Amino acid sequence: MIPRRKTRQVSVGGVPIGGDAPVGIQSMTSTYTYDIDATVAQIRTLAAAGCELVRVAVPEKRDTEALPSILEQSPVPVIADVHFHFERALEAVEAGVHKIRLNPGNIADRQQVDRVIAACRERGIPIRVGVNEGSVVERKDKGRRAAQQTGLGSDYRGEMIRLMVDAVERYMRMFDENNFQDVVISAKSIDATMVVDAYRAISERFDLPLHLGVTHAGPPETGRIRSVAALGSLLSMGIGDTIRISYAADPIYEVDDAKELLCSLSLRNRVEPELIACPTCGRIEIDLIALTAEVRKKLWTIKTPVKVAVMGCVVNGPGEAEGADVAIFAGKGKGIVYVQGEQKRTVGEADMLDALYEETVAFAARVERGEVELSHGGVNIMPPDPLPRADGSVPLPVVRH
């Protein structure tokens, strides 16, 4: 287990963040918040996928006006994302939202911040102080901006981290002076190494819970790597109390990937099947990549963390899938299905998907009834006799890779 850094705990609509709470999973809607039906539908989809907190943008008054109805229908706590207009924060608090996100880069007026803090204190609502690389450089005062940019030129990375940490510290002074500690902090950048260094610096200065994220990470294809590099590094150091992976895509991918990242690091327990699949190689004799994609889609409906393996050959596959509760080992036109190390059936290529799914559903049902336990990696799978190739030759075992 990764030892986690001790932080204070805040409660977001009953969901604990920080302290000994598991690392939380968040996402953000991509709908116009004033479109109540679309926003509620997306929140429900995200929540069904495992999202525990959902943030919504409230740029206009019609967005905060929509909040009471959204809150009434949302199955998870809702956070209002406030930029530029502190009035939106006050309206969102009044509407009953469960947390406010403020950006020190665009709401810095002391009186305005004090009013938001007072409103949140009255309702027992936490505030996230969310700094972004893009908003810490001065935008209004041209002189200050020029001075900052001169400094940025020589050591952009180091200076930018310093600006982000300074922005958090300046803002937090206002919270300290208000004796308000119901705070979560974030400091996001598009650069994974800057994210790591900024959060490390902040975690040394504050014992408040940290919301991890990479801002504007891009589409999942590239943003996934960027996010895992940054968030995975921090989480493996024990830093981070809630995460939001952000993609230029349907936010459902953010939730799927956040869950997978946390489960991969054993920071959360799986509640759905874990899929193991071989990468395929020159020994493959079926379209395993298509089969794996189909299996993944079908397994989605099972809510038991069965370990399922889809392997491309009967020669090396059993060794590589060791520990899987349910596995299929494919050969030319045929596959052998195993359940906890026991050979169950041999099926043709066209029936592989259904056979694997049926055995997985049956096994999951037995687990749920308490008749059998999940393997937790303790299954030995003896290789079957290799399935002959189309020309009648039998493939020889090879060294495991």
For ligand SF4, the binding residues (CB under 6 A) are: 278-281, 283-284, 311-313, 316-317, 320
d(CA 235, CA 231): 6
The answer for 218, left when phi > 0, alpha when psi is -120 to 50, beta otherwise, is left
Name every residue whose Cβ is closer than 8 Å to that of residue 390 and which is 6 or more positions away in sequence.
332, 333
Strands 24-28 and 127-132, how do they pair? unpaired
Tokens of 312: 């491309």
- Cβ proximity to ligand SF4: between 217 and 336 the closer is 336
- Cβ proximity to ligand SF4: between 142 and 401 the closer is 401
Residue in 203, 162, 174 with CA at minimum distance from that of residue 186: 203
- Cβ proximity to ligand SF4: between 305 and 386 the closer is 386
Gyration radius from the chain CA atoms? 25
- Cβ proximity to ligand SF4: between 70 and 313 the closer is 313
The CA distances from residue 359 to 291, 308, 340, 362, 380, in Å, are 16, 10, 11, 5, 18
Q: Give the nearest distance from C-beta 331 to ligand SF4 in angstroms.
A: 10
Q: Give the nearest distance from C-beta 82 to ligand SF4 in angstroms.
A: 50
- Cβ proximity to ligand SF4: between 353 and 381 the closer is 381
d(CA 386, CA 395): 7
Phi, psi of 292, deg, nearest 5 = -60, -45
Q: Give the nearest distance from C-beta 382 to ligand SF4 in angstroms.
A: 15
- Cβ proximity to ligand SF4: between 104 and 317 the closer is 317
Q: Give the nearest distance from C-beta 384 to ligand SF4 in angstroms.
A: 13
